[in-house]
Amino acid sequence: MLRYINPLAWMRWFAEFVYLWTVSAPWRDAPKAIPFIVLMALLTIAGFISFSDASQWRGRLLDTQLSKAWERDDFATAELVLRRKLSTRPDDSKLLHQLALTRDAQEKHDEATSIMRQLAEQKKHVVSAEWLLRDQYVGKSWGELDDEKKAEFGRLLKLISEEKPKDFGVKQLYADYLIASDRMSSAVPLLEQLAEYQPMRGLQAAAILRQLGNFSQADLMAEKTLEKVSEMLTEDPTNADLALAVARNQVFLKRYGDAVKVLDGSIKRIKTNADKLKVNQAMGDAIVAWVVFIEQVPQKSSKDQLRVLKMLDAALRYAPNNPRVLTIVADKVLATNDNDNEEVKSLRQSLLKGTSPGISHFLLGTSALMQDDLEAATMHLKIAVELMPRSAAILNNLAVAITMRPDPNLDQALKLSATAIEQSPRPTPHFFETRGQILFRMKKYQAAIPDLERALAVPALAANAHESLAECYAGLGQSEMAKEHRLAAQQSSEQDSQPNDATQP
């Protein structure tokens, strides 16, 4: 019995079986079986080729058909081939992507978009994400996107940015998206990476850090950016854009005197009129920023007012049409009306006399506007517009004067306000507040809301803007939003001491 479980015995029996089978086979008749053996081999090979979709032969055949179909723009055949391949590999991302491109070429755009979206969302297919980005979002403004689209836009940018970390175009888009989505802290690392190739992105990161309250890190980032652009300016001293970059960093760091020196030196070196005009405008902005910084001192003496007026006189010489310069000149000249210091009075008169007739009428019209003398304000500001038709500040104040009249021509006021915004390189919230109030009076509530919300950034404008927003939302049937803005208007009313701040910089 033990031999039946002995492996050595089984091995001996198997060897005997093989030997006896071999010697007993009719080998002389073996040639007769050759045709059968060959036929079976051929059938086996044919069956393998026919039923194996992964075979190189069939794959090459289908790929050739697909390639030729695309060359002939025969998208129907291309779709047929792709669906045949997908029948056995339904989860193949590459094939699904090709099918989406084919359906798009067949003007089945919605189906193509659906496939691409499925690939990007579920399979993290980067090529499909890039297609969606180009097709759905490139060239569109932030305001055109609803909340769902904005969320998808962010997911696509995040996916592509992670999979292609060296694609700085996408990284730039993603940084801008995070900023627009108010996710400032998440945007800072991307801006720091972009700063290696776009130095002024470093200043943008510094501004965000300061906004987030990280003042020391903000200054360090601005210093680093300043060092980099200063080296670039040394290598290319006639480059106006580099001079502007250096000056903006210096203004950010409150080194106003240094910024003025850099811009003044650049004006002397640059050759083209277009560049000179650009730097002159920047000089005006830098002096205005310096004046605003000086004005932060609570108690100002006649000496301080004299210094400010001298600085504004210089700003007018550099940038007589700069809206920020014009508005702050009007504000400060009017603010010194009650100062009896002879030197201040003399410089004030010198400013009025030394300016162009257009600026003089602007100052007179703005003064009348602040005193509610609407007839005189309208007259002087209309003359100023004739003399300086491209001054956004004058256009804006004229729109205010026309709007405040007992018989306002709101269509004319709206046209003037819109032109002021279009002509200003960086329109202030005051300009948007003017247009928003005009649209509100015209009962165009939906159009007024975005402009009025921009005005909320300025405390002096907040109360009036909240009141108008409350009426706008009430007119649109949004009672809860209207209630919120009425409450906000009550809270802001003590801070808004001026009925209209069109002349603020």
Domain assignment of residue 500, yes or no:
yes
Domain carrying residue 154: 62-138+145-164
Two structure tokens written together for 382: 């209309």
Domain assignment of residue 101, yes or no:
yes
Q: Which of 164, 198, 220 is the last residue of a domain?
A: 164
Neighbours of 494 (CB within 10 A): 8
The answer to pTM > 0.85 is no
Domain assignment of residue 231, yes or no:
no
What's the CATH number where 76 sits? 1.25.40
pLDDT of residue 470: 92
pLDDT of residue 498: 44
- What's the rounded Cα separation, in Å, for the pair 35 and 127? 53
Two structure tokens written together for 395: 């256009």
pLDDT of residue 58: 62
Domain assignment of residue 230, yes or no:
no
Q: What is each CA distance from 329 to 231, 312, 387, 401, 440, in whole angstroms?
A: 35, 6, 18, 19, 29
Residue 293 near residue 256 (C-beta atoms within 8 A)? yes
Domain assignment of residue 184, yes or no:
no
- Render each residue's pLDDT in the chain as its tens digit; 505 residues: 566 677 777 788 778 877 777 767 676 666 766 776 777 777 777 666 555 544 555 666 766 777 777 778 888 888 888 888 888 788 889 889 988 988 898 899 999 999 999 999 998 999 999 999 999 988 888 878 888 999 999 999 999 999 998 888 899 999 999 998 889 999 999 999 999 889 999 999 999 999 999 999 999 999 999 999 999 999 999 999 999 999 999 999 999 999 999 999 999 998 898 899 999 999 999 999 998 888 776 656 667 767 887 888 888 888 877 878 877 777 766 665 555 555 555 655 655 555 567 777 887 888 788 788 899 999 989 998 888 887 888 899 999 999 999 889 999 999 999 999 998 877 888 899 999 999 999 999 999 999 999 998 888 888 899 999 999 999 999 988 889 888 888 887 765 444 444 434 3
Q: Which of 337, 373, 340, 374 is nearest to 352 (CA)?
A: 337
Residue 58 host element (H or E) = helix 56-71
pLDDT of residue 364: 80
Domain assignment of residue 286, yes or no:
no
Domain assignment of residue 476, yes or no:
yes
User: What angle separates helix 240-252 from helix 200-211, to the nearest 10 degrees?
Assistant: 20
pLDDT of residue 54: 47
- What's the rounded Cα separation, in Å, for the pair 378 and 401? 6
Domain assignment of residue 32, yes or no:
no
Query: DSSP characters for 157-204?
Result: HHHHHHH-TT-HHHHHHHHHHHHHTT-HHHHHHHHHHHTTTSTHHHHH
What is the count of structural domains for the chain? 2
